[in-house]
A and B are shown apart, each in its own frame.
Chain A
């Protein structure tokens, strides 16, 4: 079954706007997705009909708001096949979810001699929190290297996974390379060594059917805004017994059970981790985003993006002097984030000219500087697809890239020193 993309596009008001006089071609979905009117409407419906603080009120509005908020927790649990909504904590974004786990789980458990195993392809949000944790606890970091085609070097895993390894924290899908990592295999081998597994699912949750039980991960983090929802909402999933044993990350209202002047006891999970008034409107609208994706079907979203990615690779290859990063376009283990460079041109110049053509892509280091060093480039251009993108938009991207090359010409080779 294929997607009715024309119908889907009508749900996204922004897709009908123009940029510099040209119809917008939005290919920066790995940074953030656009929002359907169902999500936009849900934000204003909350504020115009049942705005109230949750969990504490004894009036009708507070009850309605609380019910709506908690219903999204249940929907989120179903979306990722979590066994219980108690395993779902709302945060500000995936970054905060990872920081929550690093602090709540790691601070009291790790010490000198312990290791956290990451990979060379991590986004800074799944790297810097572990650097901070390692510094605070005296533990150390190790890294799974990647192959030249952007896959994890799993043959190095036996040497890297040792009894010292307490946690493996890797991305499910690379925001630069598009690589989908073999999580089930990774989790099985990590668990055999007694290590836990945290997945950065910021790129995978929007684009793949997710099943945390099948993946075998112990914790998983993702963001609403990359999957049709509003900014300011993230999710940490973790197995209930882990959450039970974890220390709170933020202290304040709602997360307590009782408070004395010099001490406090904690609320039950997951509320123990949700101090202060959360992004109620955002969470409720995120529920609409999940409902939208469920209606379309994540398997259909994935199939549509696989087809677009394969097509984009075929078309990009026709460019003179193009370098494509990550697994091949038709590979089963790749998603729709496509990084590339044009010989002799900096991605910022490519991005500036594409923008003039109405085509929005990302150019830069994509918050993955160690990966850029591994690839030997300062930056890449990146086009990333979602359910509303079309083959015609890939063609517009290619027309614009041809225009880039025509505009700059091919730079002359470096002259000898005079």
Chain B
């Protein structure tokens, strides 16, 4: 295998794909959002249970490529327990990371940092980005509908 491939499919990414840590549904979720990548058919649905301004529980369901499903698992893991503001900071940092920017030091990216290798495979960026696009949409819709 060429080196770049190991950079795209880092160990931790493969691990999240094979054994996703936050797959499932939340019957009492206030936020339910889903999305697809029409070109490749990746599908993701996120459920988020909010409590006291925090994303108390985050679960996802989906099917698609390694990158899209691992990104969803890592994002769900990382967002759980964070405040809405912290979650937004994480997702903004991920968008920046895909453009080659250094992530904001205050954003707690955890395993998500492993997705940095995706930016060398431009056609695969949308696979990773599906997860934060879906969660952001869900948060926005909730913020607008909730007031």
Contact = CB atoms under 8 A, between A and B. Distances in A.
B39 to A, nearest CB: 7
B1 A348 contact: no
A348 B24 contact: no
A107 B127 CA distance: 41
Contacts of B41: 346, 365, 372, 377-379
- DSSP class of A's interface residues: helix, strand, loop or mixed? loop
A346 B23 contact: no
Interface stretch (A81-89, A193-201, A269-277, A407-415): A407-415
A411 B18 contact: yes
B35 interface: no
Interface string B1-30: 110110011000010011110011100000
A403 interface: yes
A1 interface: no
A353 interface: yes
A277 to B, nearest CB: 34
B129 to A, nearest CB: 14
Given A379-B40, A412-B19, A417 B1 contact: no
Contacts of A377: 41
Given A346-B64, A352-B124, A417 B40 contact: no
B66 interface: yes
Interface string B52-64: 0000000100011
Given A364-B40, A379-B41, A348 B127 contact: yes
Nearest to A415: B23
A59 interface: no
Contacts of A414: 23
Contact of B124 (A347, A348, A379): A348
B32 to A, nearest CB: 15
Contacts, number: 70
B2 A356 contact: yes
B37 to A, nearest CB: 9
Contacts of B18: 409, 411-412
A139 B64 CA distance: 38
A20 B67 CA distance: 21
22 contacts: A20-B4, A346-B42, A347-B40, A348-B40, A348-B124, A349-B65, A349-B66, A352-B8, A356-B2, A356-B4, A364-B40, A378-B40, A378-B41, A379-B41, A403-B1, A407-B9, A408-B9, A409-B18, A414-B23, A415-B19, A417-B25, A418-B24
Interface of B: 1-2, 4-5, 8-9, 14, 17-20, 23-25, 39-43, 59, 63-68, 121, 124, 127
Given A20-B2, A353-B5, A408-B66, 16 more contacts: A347-B40, A348-B65, A348-B124, A349-B9, A356-B1, A356-B5, A364-B39, A365-B41, A378-B41, A378-B43, A378-B63, A378-B64, A407-B9, A412-B19, A415-B24, A417-B23
